[in-house]
Structure 1
């Protein structure tokens, strides 16, 4: 199934994107370290955010299918760019926080789901991904 996403350059190194099915807009801006003002997500910020969002969403899908309680989950990550050209994402360390009440079996299923989400599988193997799961 294809999803149409459109984008228009709005000037000053900024874009406005539109999600075809919902019509929701999303603005991007070049980052400060690459001639932009950093006023919004950069394209590479979206790449990193997509990883966190995909991991947690895939965990929620598995939880729903398997009857695992999944009322709270959040993530934090950092996007690191290469120091030398060519410019690209170098590493995305991510921490996913989940309830301590999950059983060892539930944790294993959810962690496996996160590590096999579509975005995780789509990233170049050269992009380092240190994934930490914290149960609190």
Structure 2
């Protein structure tokens, strides 16, 4: 399971955040067009990164178990708001490139597996989100 993630303002910019995930430290920020300094990825970039990484890792694990000749996985993701029945909904599009001498059946199976990666499943269903104030 993943470690606790701590996010706090770092005082270096209007929206800039210091992010700590286990032993890893990085920045988050909004793009200039949104009033930030673009010092790090925006929040939805992290969501897309998590989905893309999980997709690629899941496909790699599956292909290795099956001993399939998968040379490279590339996942390109975009996020946009779309209109669905008069309501704006978040839409993530995921384009997966599979390199290797794979049959059409193997490629189709890998697409099925991509849609079963843990982050995909979590995003595709409703999360239970709890929020509490301290201090």
Higher-RCO chain (CA-CA 8 Å, sequence separation at least 6): 1
Quote the residue 1:14 is aligned against: 16
TM-score by length of 1: 0.74
Q: Structure 1 residue 105 and structure 2 residue 105: aligned?
A: yes
Aligned residues: CA RMSD: 2.5
CA distance in 2, matches of 1:82, 1:63: 34
1:44-67, CA deviations, whole angstroms, 9 ceiling, x for partnerless residues?
Answer: 111012111111111111111111
Aligned residues: 120
**Which structure: larger Rg?**
2
- The answer to which structure has the higher strand fraction is 2
Poorly superposed stretches of 4+, deviation over 6 Å: none
SS at match of 2:28: strand
Cα deviation, residue 118, structure 1: 1.0
What is the correspondence of 1:55-94 to structure 2 with a 5 Å cutoff?
A: 55-81=55-81, 90-94=90-94
Quote the residue 2:132 is aligned against: none
Cα deviation, residue 10, structure 1: 0.7
Determine if contact 1:30/1:38 at 8 Å carries over to the other structure.
yes
Quote the residue 1:118 is aligned against: 118
CA distance in 2, matches of 1:60, 1:110: 10
Unaligned runs of 5+ in 1: 127-136
Unaligned runs of 5+ in 2: 127-135
Cα deviation, residue 33, structure 1: 4.3
